[in-house]
Amino acid sequence: MEDPNDSFAEEIAAVKEDLENNDTAAAAAKIREYLDKQNNVPLNIAITGESGAGKSTFINAFRGLSDDDEGAAPTGVTECTMVVKEYPHPNYPNVTFWDLPGIGTTKFPADKYLKLVEFEKFDFFIIISDTRFRENDVKLAQEIQKMEKKFYFVRSKIDNDIRAERRKRDFSQERTLSKMRENCIGGLQEQGIKSPQVFLVSSFELHLYDFSLLHETLEIDLPAQQRDALLRAMPNINLEIINKKKKAFQSKIKYWATLSAAAAGAPVPGLSICMDLSMMVNVAIDYVVGFGLNKPSLQKLSATSGVPYTELLNVLKSPLAAAKITPELLLKLLSQLTSTVALMALEEGSRLIPLIGIPLAAGLSFTTTYRALKYFLTELADDAQRVFKRALGLNTSV
């Protein structure tokens, strides 16, 4: 069955052909190219809305930054200029957020506004408002639609609304949220948007309300490679996101393992293990960063959640988390892999060999790499779950 997490499914055919022709160098180069390309797929997200609507705060939260972090978008500043500001994701600079001025402040008609902000380069638009959506938002959305681009409405600062409603005696969060959603959708429909997609979000609490629904919707709408790029850049707002990241990483392990197998066929003795280790260091770093388990990400999480950094460190079990990952550290861990874990993964790895069609002699390196990466990934995903739960003050037993 085709793996929905695997955007390279078609391209593997070419690799298979090279391997069947014993051209391991060409196969390795192709795999490397695919994996590198995937890490660099550009994703450009335009955020627009009137000054004070919460654009900068949303951009910072999405990037896992506090307002006072270096590189954070300045918040609470009234802007009246036509300046478009660019905020790359700190870990994945291929994912960029663009802070666009509110169409109202620029006084340009929607079509001119879109030309000025160079709308072509954006993959989709998020139109933010902290009140009901107004004529300007609607005009802009209609113009974006004409340009055949996607847009989503975000109603921001929901925590404020919930807090205000909570004072009422018959308060129900569900009821309040669905009423707000209906109001926003109804208002937009009245102004001529057929089926508006509205998401209720608090940038102070991305794990609550509709932010995860926004992600699920984008996942459906985006092409596979951009979907992957978005997933990598997503903050860990729930356990499902962590699981999806794990699955996405998992789907690539067979390619890394094939790369090792290709290296094992290389004519220079000893080259294979060096290549495997330096490749594994890079992949392990990718896992650690992807799960937000590197030091800077954990420090940011500590700042945004208010949970002391040392308490976050306390729930980590993998020696790779919050550590400097070196070939020596990996070698040490590899030698500690217990035989049960090793055997389980070995069996799974061997089943994949005929699938990819690599020569049997390369099997050992394939399975070693496969089982090691799978082991690192599982441990780090578990750590990510524990850190997520600790940051929210939940029970951390995975």
Rank residues 49 and 349 by Cβ distance to ligand GDP and give the closer one.
49
Can you tell me which of 30, 55, 155, 252 binds ligand GDP, judged by CB under 6 A?
55
Rank residues 82 and 273 by Cβ distance to ligand GDP and give the closer one.
82
Interacting residues of 30 by C-beta distance below 8 A, sequence separation 6+: 11, 14, 15, 18
Measured from the CB of residue 128, what is the shortest distance to ligand GDP in angstroms?
A: 7
Rank residues 70 and 170 by Cβ distance to ligand GDP and give the closer one.
70
User: How far apart (Å, rounded) are the C-alpha atoms in residues 39 and 281?
Assistant: 16
Instruction: Name the β-bridge partners of 198.
Output: 153
The contact mask relative to ligand GDP for 187-226 (x = CB under 6 A, - = no) is: ---------------xxx----------------------
Nearest residue to 5 via CA among 232, 222, 224, 194: 224
Interacting residues of 286 by C-beta distance below 8 A, sequence separation 6+: 39, 249
**Residue 76 interacts with ligand GDP (CB under 6 A): yes or no:** yes
Nearest residue to 77 via CA among 60, 57, 48, 97: 57
Rank residues 360 and 392 by Cβ distance to ligand GDP and give the closer one.
392
Can you tell me which of 32, 34, 51, 295 binds ligand GDP, judged by CB under 6 A?
51
The contact mask relative to ligand GDP for 30-49 (x = CB under 6 A, - = no) is: -------------------x
Rank residues 11 and 67 by Cβ distance to ligand GDP and give the closer one.
67
Nearest residue to 132 via CA among 61, 198, 72, 66: 198
Can you tell me which of 14, 16, 34, 52 binds ligand GDP, judged by CB under 6 A?
52
**Residue 63 interacts with ligand GDP (CB under 6 A): yes or no:** no
How far from chain centre, in Å, is Cα 172? 32
Instruction: Pick left, alpha or beta for residue 199 (phi over 0 → left; psi -120 to 50 → alpha; otherwise beta).
Output: beta
Q: Which long-range contacts (CB under 8 A, 24 or more apart) does 246-250 make?
A: 246/377, 246/378, 246/381, 247/5, 248/5, 249/286, 249/287, 249/290, 249/377, 250/5, 250/374, 250/377
23 C-beta neighbours (distance < 10 Å), count = 15
User: How far apart (Å, rounded) are the C-alpha atoms in residues 335 and 312?
Assistant: 27
Rank residues 129 and 318 by Cβ distance to ligand GDP and give the closer one.
129
Can you tell me which of 31, 54, 100, 279 binds ligand GDP, judged by CB under 6 A?
54
Measured from the CB of residue 275, what is the shortest distance to ligand GDP in angstroms?
A: 46
How many residues lie near ligand GDP (CB under 6 A)?
17
**Residue 57 interacts with ligand GDP (CB under 6 A): yes or no:** yes
Q: What residues numbered 293-352 form the site for ligand GDP, per CB under 6 A?
A: none
Tokens 């690539």, residue located: 252
Nearest residue to 43 via CA among 298, 217, 231: 231
Nearest residue to 177 via CA among 129, 216, 209: 209
Rank residues 75 and 396 by Cβ distance to ligand GDP and give the closer one.
75
Rank residues 87 and 376 by Cβ distance to ligand GDP and give the closer one.
87
Rank residues 25 and 80 by Cβ distance to ligand GDP and give the closer one.
80
User: How far apart (Å, rounded) are the C-alpha atoms in residues 197 and 192?
Assistant: 13
Measured from the CB of residue 114, what is the shortest distance to ligand GDP in angstroms?
A: 19
Rank residues 157 and 300 by Cβ distance to ligand GDP and give the closer one.
157
Measured from the CB of residue 374, what is the shortest distance to ligand GDP in angstroms?
A: 38
The contact mask relative to ligand GDP for 141-180 (x = CB under 6 A, - = no) is: ---------------xx-xx--------------------
Measured from the CB of residue 154, what is the shortest distance to ligand GDP in angstroms?
A: 10
User: How far apart (Å, rounded) are the C-alpha atoms in residues 338 and 384?
Assistant: 22
Instruction: HSE, CB side, 13 Å, CA atoms: give it for residue 268.
Output: 8
Measured from the CB of residue 308, what is the shortest distance to ligand GDP in angstroms?
A: 23
Interacting residues of 195 by C-beta distance below 8 A, sequence separation 6+: 189
Binding region for ligand GDP (CB under 6 A): 49, 51-57, 75-76, 156-157, 159-160, 202-204
